[in-house]
Amino acid sequence: MRGLISFIAWLLAGAGLAIPAIAQAQIPLVVTTTEDLVTGNNNCSLREAIIAANTNSPVDLCVAGLGSDSIRFGLGSGTPQIDILSPLPDITAPVSIRGNTGGATRVVLHRTGGGSFAGLVIKANGTTVESLVINNFAGHGIVIQANNVTVTGSLIGTAADGITPLGNTGNGIAISGPAAPSNHVIGGTGAGQANVIAYNQIGVSVAGSTGNAIRGNSIHDNGGVGIDNTGGGNGELAPPQITQADVTVSGTSGCASCTVDVFADSATEGQTYLGSTTTNGSGAWTLGTPPPGPYVTATVTNTSGSTSEFSTAHACRNFDADALCDGVDDSDLDGIADAVDNCMLAPNGPALPDTGGNSQLDVGGDGYGNLCDADLNGSGLVTSGDYIILRNALNTNNPAADLNGSGLVTSADYLILRSALNQPPGPSGAHRPP
């Protein structure tokens, strides 16, 4: 049927006659084989489908419609893999490529063998790429040299699990070209729109092109920066600054009424998208979400759709009792939040090398150093009985009463005991083992 429609359309066009609506309808090109060949073997390979879409001509069993085409896959469930043996044809006619079709969640494009080339080279305005995995290319993952290209839901530089490193030696996505292509959408904050772009050279590079929105993606562990705007790329919009990462994340930007996306990362990129907010007329912004650490970064996107590079990474506070930059202070770094710690003069517990080699004595042998354990008589509560013991030991080197470990029982030890009166020994919460 597809061949007949295409043949009729060809005849009518050659005769200068109008093409009936049925011939103008878009018919998806369905890839039916993982072979990377143009063989005439009664299949439709991805290579053949791109050629058919570029030329609007049948190739083997790939039959293109007129105008914009769509490439879909009929390769079964899961993440079927196409081993790419040589450069795929440049995409020179608008096409929509969707890997989450035919039962698959994504389709993998994996370079096999030698040769340096990119995964996909897009030179057609309005092309969309969705739900592909592009890895192991000796070159960029995707090269964009057109306008209004959209890339969503794809994994660029990882295996199909989205975790295992399998990077491309070039950049994940490289936006460039003599015509300064622009107005692209890379990712998004809606369900299924974000890409994972990791283990490449640079995550996304933008050269001499503006209006490129790079939002909501998981960009991490690339060899260089996560986003690189050069040669006027995205107007080289200045990244925002983060001034606080605590119960909320806040900062400033030179871009008023713009969109700030906030991320958590193990270094200086943006692995985990946390949410978005808008700058006010002065460029100030706040996101009311406690972020996970160890670092927080942000980008800003202006009203023209240009996204900045990542901000300077902002580290969680050192005095933090959990994995969040949420202001739960732990001043002595013993794993006990200040709010439930009965002793903030030093870490609860005897000598802990990971907290600076604190050398508390633990005469009671209960896992709490003397400095945090003024219960000298072991009654379970610091009372006047402990005060009597300490008073009798004043000006001696009695280790049981030497709460500060100075080698002599003095008024300083008395002050420690007095501050602990009517409290139990050790912290009120779970303590770090000695």
Of residues 349 and 414, more confidently modeled: 414
92 and 123 share one domain: yes
139 and 248 share one domain: no
Of residues 335 and 379, more confidently modeled: 379
Of residues 75 and 398, more confidently modeled: 75
Q: Is pLDDT at 23 greater than 50 in this prediction?
A: no
| 335 occurs within a structural domain | no
| Domain membership of residue 56 as a residue range | 1-74
User: How far apart are alpha carbons 189 and 216 in whole angstroms?
Assistant: 5
The DSSP result for 212-273, as a single string, is -EEES-EEE--SS-SEEEETTGGGGPPPPEEEEESSSEEEE-S-TT-EEEEEEESSSSBSEE
| Count of domains for the chain | 4
**pLDDT attached to residue 82:** 98
Tens-place pLDDT, residues 56-70:
999 999 987 666 689
| 334 occurs within a structural domain | no
Q: Is pLDDT at 275 greater than 50 in this prediction?
A: yes
Q: What mean pLDDT is predicted for residues 70-88?
A: 97
Q: Is pLDDT at 21 greater than 60 in this prediction?
A: no
Residues of the chain with pLDDT > 70, as a percent, come to 79
106 and 129 Cβ atoms separated by less than 8 Å: no
Q: Is pLDDT at 194 greater than 90 in this prediction?
A: yes
- We report the CATH number of the domain holding residue 288 as 2.60.40
**pLDDT attached to residue 7:** 42
97 and 224 share one domain: yes
Q: What mean pLDDT is predicted for residues 349-354?
A: 46
Tens-place pLDDT, residues 240-262:
999 998 888 999 999 999 999 99
Q: What mean pLDDT is predicted for residues 169-185?
A: 89
| 337 occurs within a structural domain | no
Of residues 279 and 426, more confidently modeled: 279
Question: Distance of CA 218 to CAs 31, 188, 263, 284, Å?
Answer: 29, 11, 9, 25
Q: Considering 220, 236, 252, which residue would you say is the last residue of a domain?
A: 236
Tens-place pLDDT, residues 26-75:
679 999 999 998 877 889 999 999 999 999 999 999 987 666 689 999 99
299 and 350 share one domain: no
Q: Considering 22, 55, 74, which residue would you say is the last residue of a domain?
A: 74
- We report the CATH number of the domain holding residue 431 as 1.10.1330.10
Per the confidence metrics, is the pTM higher than 0.85? no
Q: Is pLDDT at 385 greater than 60 in this prediction?
A: yes
**pLDDT attached to residue 416:** 83
- Look at the chain and count its residues: 434
| 164 occurs within a structural domain | yes
